[in-house]
Every structure is written in structure tokens, then in C-alpha cells.
Amino acid sequence: MAMGMTLAGGELDERLREMGFVEVGGEGSRVLVELMYGRDDNFTGKRMYDGLDGAWLDPDAAIALGRAQAMLDSLMPGYRLLIKDAARPMSVQRKMFRAVAGTPKANYVANPAKGGGLHNYGLAVDVTLADGAGRELPMGTPVDHLGVEANIDREEQLVRRGVISETERQNRLLLRKVMRAAGFTTIRTEWWHFNRVSKATARTRYRLLDF
């Protein structure tokens, strides 16, 4: 497929399925899905996904996510993981980077010219928590918030300053607890973002979604 070509709605799902990626949050799953880039009320201000309905992950990451939901079930029965973004083809990564190029927001988007990021391998997931009715739990900021309020290394300070509540901090801690126990790692600037492996490991052992 030619570089930069974007697949039409539905074809992204089919291509990922054919590559052996796993759809998470399907029928019968405890995991919920609400793709934030399938709408225009995300940090780019534009719809990034044209008809991609499912959240897809590399099988290794999908298995780990299942472990995280199982642990959440044991700790807080009724709570559910809510996926906001998962595998992201490079065609979408290029579109996203163009949307924020030349702005401070570009610092938050992996440069496709440098190989993109772990979303482009299906090895990263943006996730929050929901209650038994599917309502998002308060986390202090929305998923996709750009700013220090989303940093995980400033949370106690943010509580002291009244920027986020202690309840919101505890919700973040619960999310990190189950995701880390399942084998994911965190990044400093986004409480919702979790990686399954390092970028170096992804490059040597996994497939880049270069379509």
C-alpha cells in the first residue's frame, strides 16, 4: 500500500483483524471502548478515525489488558476499564501530526518521520476507569488533557493546591495499580497512557502498522 494512503471506514478494522490483532471490548467483554479520535472533541479539534469502530491491540497487549480488568474486578467489583485509544495506523499518525504541526501540541504527538510511537504497534493504550453504569470516574482531567495537571509525578502537589481532589488521585492510583500489575508501564505526562513494551523492543520484535 502506498505511503500516506488512508483506508476507508471499516477497512481499518478488517486490516487489523487480518494482521492478527485482537479487538478488545467486543461482545461479552468487561472492557468498554469509546474512541476519542473517532470524534472531533479531542485535542486536535478534528476527527482522526474515519469509521474505525473497534479498539485493537497486539495479542500480547490484549492479554495483559485482560489481566488488568480481572484485577480491577477483584479489587473494585463493577468497575471497568474504558479504552479511549489503542492501535493507531501510521496513516492516522501522520494525519494527527499534521493537525498539530507548528503548535505546542506537537510535543505530545510522536513524530511519524521518526517511527511514530507505541500506539503504531498496537502496544500502547489510552485508558480510564468507569463505574458499573459505564460512567467515567473523575480523574482530575479529561483523557487527552495537555498540561501539568495530567502529570503523574505531581499528583500530591496538585491535591494540596486544590487542582485535583484526593478522590481523583486515588482513582488514578487504582488505574495505575491494575495496569502495572498486568505488565504495562507508565509515562510521566499522561495518567491515561500505558505501554506494554519499550520502543526498542517494539522495533525489533513487533510489527509497525504502516498503512
Q: Kindly tell me if the per-residue pLDDT of 102 is higher than 50.
A: yes
Q: Are 84 and 165 in contact (CB under 8 A)?
A: no
Nearest to 125 by CA among 44, 66, 166: 66
Task: State pTM to two decimals.
Answer: 0.93
Residues 18-77 have pLDDT tens digits of 999 999 998 789 999 999 999 999 999 999 998 688 999 999 999 999 999 999 999 999
Q: Kindly tell me if the per-residue pLDDT of 3 is higher than 50.
A: no
Count CB atoms within 10 A of the CB of residue 3: 10
HEC states along 47-60?
CCCCCCCCEEECHH
Position 27 scores a pLDDT of: 78
Residues 104-148 have pLDDT tens digits of 998 889 999 999 999 999 999 999 999 999 999 999 999 999 999
Confidence of residue 11 (pLDDT cuts 50, 70, 90): confident
* DSSP category for residue 164: S
Position 53 scores a pLDDT of: 83
Position 180 scores a pLDDT of: 98
Distances in Å between the alpha carbon of 63 and those of 7, 130, 182?
Answer: 27, 20, 9
Residues 159-202 have pLDDT tens digits of 999 999 999 999 999 999 999 999 999 999 999 999 999 999 99
SS3 of 98, please? Answer: helix
